[in-house]
Structures are given as C-alpha cells and as structure tokens.
Amino acid sequence: MAAAGSPSAALRRRDLCSRGIRLAGKMRADVVDLLDAYVSLPCSLCLPRGWEHRWDLGSCAGMLEEQREQLGEADAGLGRALAAVLLQVSAFAYHLEELLRLESRGIPGEEGDEEEDGPPPPPRLSHFERKLRGLGVLRELAQWAVRSVRDLRQLAKPSPATGAWPPAHGCSFCPA
C-alpha cells in the first residue's frame, strides 16, 4: 500500500473519490426512484419512535434485505430495485473502506466490532413499523449519498496537507 502522502497515493485517492462520487450519485438516483415506488407516507413522520439511533451501512443493508424478504417474489420490480440498491450500498461501502485504508484510517464498523459484543437484537416490529423503517432507511440513504458526494468532493480537492480529512459534516461513515 502506498503511503498516504505519496503522489501515487494522491492519484489513487482522487480516483477513488471520483468513482465514489459517481457511485453515490447513481445510488441516490436509484433510491429516489425506489422511494417513489414505495409507500407514500408523510415524510416528517416516517420514523417510528425509538429509531433515532446512529445509522451505518450494515443496518441499512439489513433493513433493506428485511423489506425484500417481506415482499417475497410477488413484487419482482420492487424486489429487483431493492436488490440493486443493496448491491450499490455494499459496493459503496467497499469503496469507502478502500479509501479509509488508503488514508490509513480505521474502519468504523471494524473498530466497533472490536469494542462491542454486537448490537442488541432488534425488537419485534409490526409490518407497519417495518415499512416505516424501510422508508426511513431509503430517505436516509438518499441524504447520506448526497452528503457523501459532498465529502468526497472535498476529499478529492488537492490540499496542502495531503490526506487531511475535510470536516465530517455529520457524515455517518466518518470516524467520530
């Protein structure tokens, strides 16, 4: 692995950032399309009580997978769209991990795993709550993609202190 400050590392970072921007843009577009096809509910009230915990890629993917299972094979279109978003989320996660490794940063999930025994099992939710949560995940994903694009653009800019992270802006994948 090249050192974070070397010219090749800068090039690599720029490449990862630009590809990440494209990926996040596509992901956002797909999520917005999916939101249109999903349940239509008032946006401001879409998250049920007690669901204000911190987001991460794993929980997003888990919830999307749960929604896909709920639908079964019945709604092939929605199922395929969800699967596509899942794939993009995991690809984007992998992409960001590469970027973090390049910058010699720890991966938040891995760090967390080391520290904690794992998240407590989620409470049994009703269908309605799961729908709300799915919708919330999609909305969060869309916003998160926008934030990620902004962060990656910042990161792609050549800065005097090579490898310095831009302000986190509350982005969920940034280390705390």
Which residues contact other proteins by CB under 8 A? 39, 41-42, 45, 48-49, 69-76, 78, 126-128, 131-132
To other proteins, the closest distance from the beta carbon of 32 in angstroms equals 19
To other proteins, the closest distance from the beta carbon of 135 in angstroms equals 11
Which C-beta is closer to other proteins: that of 77 or that of 118?
77
- Looking at the chain, list the stretches that DSSP marks H as alpha helix, in order from N- to C-terminal side: 7-37, 57-71, 76-102, 108-115, 127-156
Which C-beta is closer to other proteins: that of 3 or that of 43?
43
To other proteins, the closest distance from the beta carbon of 73 in angstroms equals 4
Which C-beta is closer to other proteins: that of 26 or that of 130?
130
To other proteins, the closest distance from the beta carbon of 65 in angstroms equals 13
To other proteins, the closest distance from the beta carbon of 45 in angstroms equals 4
Which C-beta is closer to other proteins: that of 11 or that of 39?
39
Q: How far is CA 135 from the centre of its chain?
A: 14
Closest-CA residue to 151 (of 24, 3, 11): 24
Which C-beta is closer to other proteins: that of 8 or that of 126?
126
HSE (side-chain half, CA atoms, 13 Å) at 88: 24
132 token code pair = 């709300």
φ/ψ of 67, rounded to 5, equals: -65, -40
Secondary structure letter of residue 163 according to DSSP: T
Secondary structure letter of residue 44 according to DSSP: G
Which residues are CB-contacts of 56 (< 8 A; sequence separation ≥ 6)?
108, 109, 172, 173
